[in-house]
Structure 1
Amino acid sequence: MPGSPTTSVQEARAALAERLRALRLDAGITGKQLAAACGWSAAKSSRIAAGRTSPSDDDIRAWCRACGAEDLTADLIAARRQADSMYVEWRRLQRTGMRRLQEASRPLYERTRSFRVYASGVIPGYLQTPGYARALMGTIARFRGTPDDVDDAVKARIRRSQAVLHGNHRFATLIEENVLHHRVGDTEVMAGQLGHLLASMALPSMSIGIVPSAAAREQVMWPVEQFTAFDDDRVHVELLAAKVTVTAPGELEVYHRAFARLARLAVHGAHARALIVRAIDALA
């Protein structure tokens, strides 16, 4: 995909840095004078002004105080927090385990009416069986060294899934064929998961397409990172180290366009079921 999923984060941080730099210029002081007033090195103020270092709340308070613009402190702190919330490391999101993360996302899932989900690594959460979710979350907890609350996290994920699958929501789901062959859990767990995927295709709110491994991608679209589009105003991108929230209109359009192109590669109905059945047969 052209560009990086962190572009909007970088733009937000650059915009904050520019506002801080403008405050200093309006105050008529140099970077060295500002650093001295804040008790910093000149290098620190320079890094903040250039957007290379994200300032803390206290840094912003000191900057505004040095520039005689304390009335803007709250607004600038809010802008910093918004920029930081766009890119959040999984270890921070899951520092107390995974249950709270599942529960915290439920309101977003419940108010979303249209989901567009592209799965290139694992089965999407709302289609996971308890066994698959438990095996996956256990692997994640061990890899990231987070507290092991897997059983509670699985229950929270299943509750969230049941709430949205039986509500007024529609799901357009695209799954790369290789995901069907990624072993998560033992053979019984994978067979159950793939069987559940087949059964879910009958839900009136659900459209499930499988992108064949042999699809001719030239001139269309290559595999990209797993992402979920919530209505038309938010996309969550799942990176190895962090979750990225995309809200900038230009970047949203890129993900929506990518989804449309990936949908052109996908097969549905009987052809999709045949690929899932083939994956089940391969477990034997």
Structure 2
Amino acid sequence: MPTSPSSSAQAAREALAERLREMRLDAGLTVEALAVRCGWNKSKSSRIENAKTAPSDADIRVWCLACEAPDQAADLIAANRIADSLYVQWKRLHRTGLRRIQESYVPLYEQTRHFRIYCSRVVPGFLQTEAYATALLSSVAAFRQSPNDVADAVAARLARSHVIRDGSRRFAMLVEESVLRYRIGDSEAMAGQLGHLLSVNSLPSVSLGVIPFEVTRSLWPLETFNVFDDRQAAVELLTAQVTVTAPGEVAMYVKAFVELQSHAVYGARARSLITAAIDALG
């Protein structure tokens, strides 16, 4: 496998290689002894440990068995599989415009039954109105200098949100109170968006919590992230999209979500914060 131009992907490979090396050392094996147990040349073990050669899934399983740690194979295989896609620049994803990336999420959304969504900056995509989404995606296209297909991208975003009305799925959503106050678009667009949030709790599949400014926190505000069932998480950074599939790391995002939920208010208290944000628009 060729070395990725992404430094983060290479860092992921190096971290995997270090975990394999530590496993060998914990097992009390030399590079030569490991190679004998695995049935390959010692140079292969060295190349893997130095992140010169990416191991296959089978290599990882054999390595773990040789070190008497087969229970670690699943996490290591997941980390290995996503090394190339761990950190994908938005510039690469948006090179042909924004519509395609909106549509690319549809299969994942249709497969998922339990969504956990935490947003610290903008309204969750599932809940965005047309005016709000247009203002937001217009700023994204301008900032990232993407081809301007905003109208098509907005239509695709709204179309993919149909799953929220499917009673077979559950949507647990959390937003920081700041999300209600950041003005994306003009006052009319924001008022319409906030008004839409007031109606969301009538949907039986949706639970919307708001984390108030004044709450005493045990967990700091995090970057926006989504968890799909318990098998995958997506994290949004300024420059890139990070995909997490290693079971141990996904579990950390689930843990963070549960912790953030403990800070949130729901029902009448959440509606009062949304109403206050509407009133503040003047």
Deviation string, structure 1 residues 5-62 (Cα, Å, up to 9, x no partner): x99984445436999x98xx93759x9xxxxxxxxxxxxx9xx9744x999xxxxxxx
Aligned residue pair count: 236
Query: Match of 1:209, as an amino acid?
Result: G
Correspondence list, 1:1-284, <5 A? 10-15=11-16, 26=41, 50-51=50-51, 82-166=82-166, 168-217=168-217, 220-284=218-282
Aligned CA distance change for structure 1 residues 179 and 15 (closer, same or farther; 3 Å): same
Contact 2:164/2:171, CA 8 A, preserved across alignment: no
Structure 1 gaps of 5+ residues are 1-5, 32-44, 56-78
Aligned CA distance change for structure 1 residues 15 and 204 (closer, same or farther; 3 Å): same
Contact 1:8/1:246, CA 8 A, preserved across alignment: no
Aligned CA distance change for structure 1 residues 54 and 229 (closer, same or farther; 3 Å): farther
Contact 1:97/1:147, CA 8 A, preserved across alignment: yes
Query: Match of 2:16, as an amino acid?
Result: A
**CA-CA distance at 1:175 after TM superposition:** 0.5
Distance of 1:92 and 1:245 partners within structure 2: 15
TM-score, length of structure 2 as denominator length: 0.75
Deviation string, structure 1 residues 201-255 (Cα, Å, up to 9, x no partner): 11000000000001111xx211011000000011100111111111112211211
Aligned CA distance change for structure 1 residues 248 and 8 (closer, same or farther; 3 Å): farther
Query: Match of 2:182, as an amino acid?
Result: H
TM-score, length of structure 1 as denominator length: 0.75
Structure 2 residue matching 1:198: 3-state secondary structure: helix
Distance of 1:147 and 1:81 partners within structure 2: 31
Structure 2 gaps of 5+ residues are 1-6, 21-30, 55-78
**Segment of structure 1 superposing worse, 170-179 or 157-166:** 157-166
Deviation string, structure 1 residues 144-193 (Cα, Å, up to 9, x no partner): 11111000000000000013433521100010001100000000000000
**CA-CA distance at 1:84 after TM superposition:** 1.1
Contact 2:115/2:229, CA 8 A, preserved across alignment: yes
Distance of 1:54 and 1:97 partners within structure 2: 35
CA RMSD in angstroms, aligned pairs only: 3.0
The sequence identity of aligned pairs, in percent, is 51
Structure 2 residue matching 1:259: 3-state secondary structure: helix
Structure 2 residue matching 1:190: 3-state secondary structure: helix
